[in-house]
Structures are given as C-alpha cells and as structure tokens.
Amino acid sequence: MSNRESAVKNIIEVLEDMNPPRPTFVSREPFDLDKLAITQFPALLVTAGNETREDQAMGGYRRGIIEVNIRGFVRSDGRKGFVQSVDEKRNNLIERIEEALNTNRNRELATARAATTHVVSVEVIDRTPPLGEFLMIAEVHYSFTKGAV
C-alpha cells in the first residue's frame, strides 16, 4: 500500500475513534450534504490532496509531504437555551480533530523511515445556519527510500 493511502486510512481510523465530539459520518467519497440526516452530524470528508517530493540526501532517501484535506460539517438544531451555536460546534470539532491527530503523529507508514503530522491550516467556509463548514489541511511529512511507494 502506498504511503499516501496508508496516511489517509490511518487518519480516518483515528477520526472515527476520537473522543467526543466524535464525527458520526466519515467518508472518503463526496456526499450530498442536503441528504444527510440530522443524526449524521458532525460529518467529515477526508481526501488525499497534493504531495510534494524531493531528494533528501545522497544515498537514495527522499522526502514527501502529503496534504490530507479534512472537510468538516456541523449542524445546530436551532433551539433556544442550552444548545451550542454552529460556531461553537465547529470550533469544538476542529480542536478535537487536531488533538486526535496529535496523539500519534507518525501515521504508522510501513515504507517510511520517519513520519510526522502537522495541521497547517483551518479555513472556515461560510454557510447559512444551521450548517457550519470548515476545511482543515493536515500535512504528513515522511522520509522513504527511492523506489519505495
């Protein structure tokens, strides 16, 4: 299995197993947000993004940086009283995802000599309430031997 695939699969496993607020629906395939039930929120779409590679040193070692896109969706039920707003739900989910990714940053890549994960950006995407959305980019840095996938 390629390092790209291993990194994405590991991140999905971590996100499906994180402490509350835990995403109810995690997918690698795009989905129609309007067709999700209220009980399927929060929802995440996780995809492999761009990757850069470069020679690290003489001796056949290379370095790769994979961008993993984590698009999150939250929903507020709109009731008055002790209910979190869309912004609070979005912020809590962003924080929990980053904490979950930081618990084991090496992503367990089989063909990599070393790996580490960093959340490099979070973009809040404007949506009409009761929906909230964000795009988080996590970079997985790893070293590998030339010829290894």
Could you tell me where the DSSP H helices lie in 1-149? 3-16, 86-103
Number of H helices, E strands in the chain: 2, 5
Q: Are 50 and 79 in contact (CB under 8 A)?
A: no
Compute CA distances 42 → 91, 107, 137, whole Å. Answer: 12, 23, 18
Tokens of residue 112, six digits:
């990599």
For the cut 60, the answer to whether the pLDDT of residue 148 exceeds it is no
Q: pLDDT tens-digit profile of 11-65?
A: 999 999 988 888 999 999 999 998 999 899 999 999 999 989 888 776 677 888 9
Q: pLDDT tens-digit profile of 70-113?
A: 999 999 876 665 567 888 999 999 999 999 999 887 766 666 66
Distance CA 40, CA 119 (A): 25
Q: pLDDT tens-digit profile of 1-10?
A: 677 788 888 8
Distance CA 139, CA 132 (A): 23
CATH class of this structure's domain 3-145: alpha beta
Taking the CA of residue 59 as centre, how many other CA atoms within 13 Å lie in the half-sphere pointing to its CB? 6
